[in-house]
């Protein structure tokens, strides 16, 4: 028996069962082979190639500029590093909103060329036909509600969403609709904890929260944020597990000193 066949791969069905068994689901982003390997080895259940790649990999202010080709490239890199986790890839802005045929085409490319196990798209009722079309083609879809960063120019701010009744009720209705359409999970971003709890209890598919409190069925964070690579980004919901920015800049400045002083390389480090 090969080593690979001993690893029990996480599937959308595994996530559904985890919700049923009240076992929390863990998800982190990754955008490259080496990080994906570490994140998978750390034991997360799912790896998301988020369009946050536009921010943390490419330095854009919003997620809007990243293209489908670029997301496919990141996904290919991640897939090569993953043995166990369910790999979910974002469809970027403009690749699924205009019509269901285009949405299916984008999702098929992400699965076929990227090698993703599932795709994630932002929105509820507005993109109902696109979700239906993708799910009917046999592609697992993860929804994304609440603060949906692809709509940032409509929102005007990254503040908490659905604090008002009307938006909260729409979010609950959208959760139920996404479940009905066959989505296997829903990311809930930056909404009040009480609303996320209500949403999680109102559907049988898992909710995965980011800034949505502890009653979601799982949690997701952006890898660069949780390992402390982003000094300038400190939302209340973020827990930093490392201070990699300080560690890495410290290591780099030590390397610079060592080279300048001819301490590196020494004899043992030479042939
Ligand atoms: O793009 C992303 O990283 C995301 C997560 C924040 C959920 O959508």
Percent share of the chain, pLDDT over 90: 96
Q: Are 177 and 197 in contact (CB under 8 A)?
A: no
Pocket test for ligand 1, best of 95, 210, 212 (most atoms within 8 A of CB): 210
Could you give the CA distance from residue 131 to residue 138 in angstroms, rounded to a whole number? 11
When pLDDT is cut at 50, 70 and 90, the band that residue 3 belongs to is low
Residue 1 has pLDDT above 50, yes or no: no
pLDDT in tens, 200-237: 999 999 999 999 999 999 999 999 999 999 888 999 99
List, in order, residues 6 or more apart from 170 with CB less than 8 Å away: 124, 125, 162
Q: What is the pLDDT of residue 231?
A: 86
Task: Tell me the per-residue pLDDT of 179-207, one tens digit each, with 9 for 90 and over.
Answer: 999 999 999 999 999 999 999 999 999 99
Q: Where do the structural domains in the chain lie, given as residue ranges?
A: 12-240, 246-271
222 lines ligand 1 (CB under 6 A): yes
Q: Which protein residue's CA is at the shortest distance from atom 8 of ligand 1?
A: 50
Q: In this structure, which topology does domain 12-240 adopt according to CATH?
A: TIM Barrel (3.20.20)
Whether 2 shows a pLDDT value over 90: the answer reads no
The mean pLDDT value of the chain amounts to 97
- Which pLDDT score is estimated for 153? 97
Å from CA of 210 to ligand 1 middle: 8
Q: Is 210 in the pocket of ligand 1 (CB under 6 A)?
A: yes
Ligand 1 neighbour 211 (Cβ under 6 A)? no
Q: Let me know the angle formed at the C-alpha of 103 by 98 and 107, rounded to the nearest 5 degrees.
A: 155
Judge contact between 51 and 150, C-beta under 8 A.
yes
- Does the annotation list 52 as a binding residue? yes
Residues 128-148: what's their mean pLDDT?
A: 98
Known binding residue 46? Answer is no
Query: Out of 83, 113, 167, 189, which one is annotated catalytic?
Result: 189
């Amino acid at each position: 028996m090969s080593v690979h066949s001993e690893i029990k791969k996480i599937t959308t069905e595994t996530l559904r069962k985890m919700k049923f068994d009240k076992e929390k689901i863990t998800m982190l982003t990754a955008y490259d082979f080496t990080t994906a390997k570490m994140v998978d080895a750390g034991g997360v259940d799912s790896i998301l190639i988020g369009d946050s790649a536009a921010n943390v990999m490419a330095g854009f202010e919003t997620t809007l500029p990243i293209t489908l080709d670029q997301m496919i490239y990141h996904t290919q890199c991640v897939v090569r590093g993953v043995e166990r986790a369910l790999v979910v890839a974002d469809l970027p802005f403009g690749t699924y909103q205009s019509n269901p045929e285009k949405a299916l085409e984008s999702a098929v490319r992400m699965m076929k060329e990227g090698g993703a196990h599932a795709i994630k798209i932002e929105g509820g009722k507005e993109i109902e036909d696109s979700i239906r079309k993708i799910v009917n083609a046999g592609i697992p879809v993860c929804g994304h509600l609440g603060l949906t960063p692809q709509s940032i120019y409509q929102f005007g701010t990254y503040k908490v969403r659905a604090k008002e009744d009307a938006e909260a009720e729409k979010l609950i209705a959208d959760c139920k609709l996404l479940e009905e359409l066959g989505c296997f999970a829903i990311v809930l971003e930056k909404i009040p904890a009480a609303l996320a709890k209500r949403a999680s209890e109102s559907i049988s598919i898992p909710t995965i929260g980011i800034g949505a409190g502890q009653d979601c069925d799982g949690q997701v964070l952006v890898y660069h944020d949780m390992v402390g690579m982003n000094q300038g980004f400190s939302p209340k919901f973020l827990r930093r597990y490392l201070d990699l920015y300080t560690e890495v800049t410290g290591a780099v400045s030590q390397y610079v000193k060592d080279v300048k002083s001819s301490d590196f390389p020494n004899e043992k480090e030479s042939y």
